[in-house]
Chains A and B, each alone.
Chain A
Amino acid sequence: MPSRRVLVTGLSTYWGGRLAQALETAPGIEAIIGVDNEEPTVELQRTEYVKVGAQHALLRRVVEAAEIDTVVDTRLVVDSSTTSSRKAHENNVIGTMNILAACGGPSSGVRKLVFKSSTHYYGSEQDDPAFFDESMGRSHPPRTSIERDILEAEASVAEYAARNPEVSVTVLRCADILGPDLPTALVGLLALPAVLMILGFDPRFQFVQEDDVVHALEHVTQRETPGLYNVAADGVLALSEVAGLLSKPYLPILPPLGTGLAAGIARRLGVSLPPEMLGQLRFGRGVDNRRLKAAGFVYGCTSREAVLALGERMRLHPLLRSDAEPYRYEREVEEFLRWSPNVRSSGTKDAAALTREQVVELRRLLDVYERGTAPDSDVVPGDRSDRPVAP
C-alpha cells in the first residue's frame, strides 16, 4: 500500500526536517504531519507542525485524528556529544516506546513504520567481522549508554514488528553520516586541523553522505520494503586515507593504553570524542550495504566522494557562513501561510500543493457542482468561489 498520510517524528531534528522537505515534493503524499517538542529548524511548505511533549504521550490522538498510515521515526540520538545521556535515554528508549505504542493496536490505521537507527548497533570490537550484514548482532555487550539505547530501541521496534504483522516495518541502520552542517562528533573531529588517531591503529571507516540518507529514508517511505537495511556508501576507507582525502595531516597522539582517559582530557579541551567513538577509532567498522541496493536504492556517492565533498564544503564553509540567515519558525506566519483565505498566489505554498492546471480543473468542477445543485442549495454564491484551495 503506498503511503499517503505521513507522520514524521522529530521534525526539528536535521533528519526530520530534511525528510519532510523531500516528501513535500512527492505528488502521491497528501498530508505530512511533523511532531516534535521543539520548533522546526527548516523552512517547510505544506508540512503541518504539531508540538508534542518529549514523551509523545498525546501522539495516539494525532495519529488517529489525521488518519496517519505511515510513521517515520527519525529522532534517535546516536551521538552522545549532542546531548546528556539522560536526555538521550529519555528520547531513545522512552520516546521510541511511546511512539510505537501510539502506532500499535488493532484499531490503529498505521500500516508502515520506518525507523532510523545507526550502525553503532553493531559496536566495534577486536573480533568483529570486516563487514557486518543485517543478520549479525554485536560480538560483545555494549559499553556505552548510547549503544545500549540503540539496542533497546531496536529491540522494541522488533517487538512491535512481531506483534503487528500487518505493519511493514523498515529499520535503516545508517553508517557515519557526513555533511558539513551536521553537528555530529565525527564531523567535528574531521573539522579539526589534523585527524586524530590512536597510536598504532589505522581503523576502517565507512561513511554515507547526508543526501543519501535523506533519499534512503524517502525511498523506503514511498515503497514497500520491510526489513533491516544498512545504509552505508560503497567503500570502506582507512582513517589515514580519510586524512589524505581531506588533505590534512594525521596526528596519532591518542595513546593505545588509557585511551579513555586521554579522550576524557581531550573532551575537556573541547575536542568531540564521545566514548562510543573510541572503539571505532581503534578497530573501525565496515558494513555490508548490498541489501538496500538490492531493494532498488542507488547511492549518490561513495564513501570516498562523501569525504571529498565534505572537505570541499569545510574549506568553503567559513566564507559562506556569515551570509546565511538561519531559519526561524514563527507559528503565526506559518499558520497564516497555510490557512488564511487571503493567501492567494503564494508561489511557495500552492505550487507545492496544487498545480495551475489542477486549480483550473477544481474551479471548473466547482462551477459544475454549483450549477447542478444551485436550485435547491442554500449556499451563498459569494461564499464558494473564493475559497482557498488549501490541501
Chain B
Amino acid sequence: MAESARTPISPREQPDGVGPGATLPAVREADLREHLPGLEPERQLTDWGRSERVEGLMDRTLVDFFYRYWFRVEVEGIENVPAAGGGLLVSNHSGALPPDAAMIGKAIREEHPHPRRLNITVEHFFKGYPGFSMLIPKIGCVAAHPANVQRLLYDEQELVLVFPEGRKGTEKLYKDRYRLRRFGRGGFVEAAMRAQAPIVPVCVVGAEEAQPVFTQLNMLKKLTGLIYMPLTPTFPHLGPLGALGYLPAKFRLRFLEPIHFERAGMYEDKALVQTTAHDVRSKIQENLLEMITKRRSVWFG
C-alpha cells in the first residue's frame, strides 16, 4: 500500500482495497474550509513554517537589491494577478539557483495594487539538504506536492507559483535558452481546475542570461549528492556563495491574461487537462519570443 510515490489528495483517488479509506466519513470539502485553523497572533511562523521576520529581512536586503539595482525589473500586466482568492501563477524557469521566483514575488509585493504574498513551490529535494531545509520554508517556499497546492489554492485562497518545467528548466544549458521544456504531466492544470482557481501565465526574460549554465558537472553532482551541479560563471569555483553570482541582465516580467476554470469537475477530463497545459505552454513560449525580439540589449533591455 505504501509503494505509490505520490499520496492521493482526495478520497476519490484512494487506491482500491487499501487501508481504512473505505470508512472515511463523508464531509464536503467546502465544509472543511470553515474549520481551517487561524493563525495565533503571538506566533512568528505560519503553519507552513513561513517566517515573516526572515522573509522581511531577505526582502529588504538581498531581494530588494537585485530587484531594483541589479536586474532593474520591469513588469507588464500585473493587473492580471487576481487581487483576492486563489490563483496559480505558471512561469518559465531558468538559472542554476533560479532568481525568477524571488523576482516574481517581489513584483507582486511592489507593483500590485493589492500586494499579496506568493507561495513558491520547490522541489522536495530541498527538504533533504541541511540548511536549505531550514531556510526554504521560512521564505515562503513549499514542496511541490499536489495536496499542498490544493490546500493553498482552495482552502487558504492564496497565490501559488509553479514552474511546470521543474528541474528540466533549471538544468538546461545556455544554448537552449528560452526554449521551454515539457510542462510536466499537466499536474498544475489539474490542481487549478480542482481548486477552481485561475491560471496566470508569467513570462520571465533575463534570467537565462543572469546565470548562464554552460554545462552540468556530473562527477561533482554524484560526489555532493545535489540534484544538479551546473557550471556557471561563478559556480562552483567560487564556492557555495558563487551560486548567487548573477550577471546584471535586464529582467522583464509579463503577466498574461488569466485562464478561468469555473465548471466543477473539469480536472477529471484528462484530455482537457493536457490541451490546457499545452495551450499555457505555447502562450508563454510565444510571448517569450516576442519579448526577446523587441529586446535590443541583454543588459539594458
Interface residues of A (CB under 8 A from B): 126-142, 151, 154-155, 157-158, 161-162, 169, 171, 198-202, 204, 225-229, 234-238, 241, 256, 282-283, 286, 288-291, 293-295, 302, 304
Contact = CB atoms under 8 A, between A and B. Distances in A.
A325 B202 CA distance: 68
B36 to A, nearest CB: 7
B148 to A, nearest CB: 5
B36 A290 contact: yes
Given A155-B19, A226-B25, A128 B43 contact: no
B42 to A, nearest CB: 7
B133 interface: yes
B85 interface: no
Contacts, number: 158
A128 B148 CA distance: 9
B7 A137 contact: yes
A139 B43 contact: no
Contacts of A198: 130
Q: Find the residue from A132, A201, A295 having the highest chain B CB count within 10 A.
A: A201
Contact of B20 (A127, A171, A238): A171
B151 A131 contact: yes
B25 A225 contact: yes
Contacts of B116: none
B151 A228 contact: no
B133 A134 contact: no
Interface of B: 1-11, 13-14, 18-25, 27, 31-32, 34-38, 40, 42-45, 47-49, 124-125, 127-134, 137, 142-143, 145-148, 151
B24 A228 contact: yes
Given A199-B130, A235-B37, A235-B40, A204 B145 contact: no
A58 B139 CA distance: 57
B40 A236 contact: no
Given A126-B124, A139-B6, A133 B23 contact: no
Given A201-B133, A201-B134, A290-B32, A158 B42 contact: no
Given A132-B7, A198-B130, A200-B131, 18 more contacts: A126-B124, A129-B151, A130-B147, A131-B148, A135-B13, A137-B2, A139-B7, A141-B2, A141-B3, A162-B22, A169-B20, A201-B133, A202-B133, A204-B137, A234-B37, A238-B49, A283-B127, A289-B37
Nearest to B7: A136
A130 B142 contact: yes
B143 A130 contact: yes
Contacts of A129: 7, 9, 143, 145-148, 151
A135 B14 contact: yes
Contacts of A138: 1-2, 7
B119 to A, nearest CB: 11
Contacts of A157: 20
Contacts of A238: 45, 49
A235 B9 CA distance: 21
A291 B27 contact: yes
Contacts of B25: 225-229, 291, 295
Nearest to B6: A139
